[in-house]
Structure 1
Amino acid sequence: PASEEERAISPAPAPKFVDKLKKHGVKPLSVGRSIVATWEPHQATVLEVIKELGLELEIIFNKGAVMILPSGINKATGLAAALEDLRLSPHNVVGIGDAENDHAFLQACGCSVAVDNALAAVKDTADLV
């Protein structure tokens, strides 16, 4: 944090993947440093394009959002990378979440909290609600 440097923990989305999604009419489509995101009901098209291109990607849902990330990359892996850089233990972390994309993250935290409007599955596994 003191250096304000960024470190990528996964590759950028493949341009051919993004282009193919656009050609299939997937809108809206957001492209980040590691993530490609859209909304339901485009998950079927996303899966079709992943299969067609032979890519190793994961689809993660977030209350209607469809997020595509490299396999094994999620909030928990981001947290693990940050904790390693900061030389902190996950036991020092209180994580707060509400949706499908928070499961792995909350499991990686020393204390997990689900907000009141969280999905039932998130509330069921959180330490506190």
Structure 2
Amino acid sequence: MAAWVIVAITFAASNSLAGDKERRVVFPKGKNTVVYKGNLPRQIAERDSYIITLKKGQRLTVKLSTADASASFKIFELDKLGPDEDMIFNGSATEREFSGSVPVASRYSIQVYGPNEDGDAATGAPYSIEITRN
């Protein structure tokens, strides 16, 4: 019985994380802007995450570029704010740019999504995301 439970938990965990990709944002020396390229996740629950550490009040600008009409991104604070206050930006297919100051010194996750809950077809289209800190 215990072996069955371990197999089931392992299978569930690997399936839930199969399409998720996480990357730490690294800026080239002397630069405040970096661009990453990828292909949009194909499943609704999948995302590409870009983790960046910022100081309180630091300005963050993010621009998502892709031909896929259903692509979007969100920004979450990871360490200090509670679950009802950790979303910094809830983008949509029509809102693909964010610029604002962050509320606390912390790590932030910029999460890129492909298809949405409206049943749009997943394209896996290429995208680029430009991240600037000031």
**Structure 1 length normalisation: TM-score?**
0.27
Q: By percentage of residues, which structure has more helix?
A: 1
Structure with more relative contact order (C-alpha pairs < 8 Å, separation 6 or more): 2
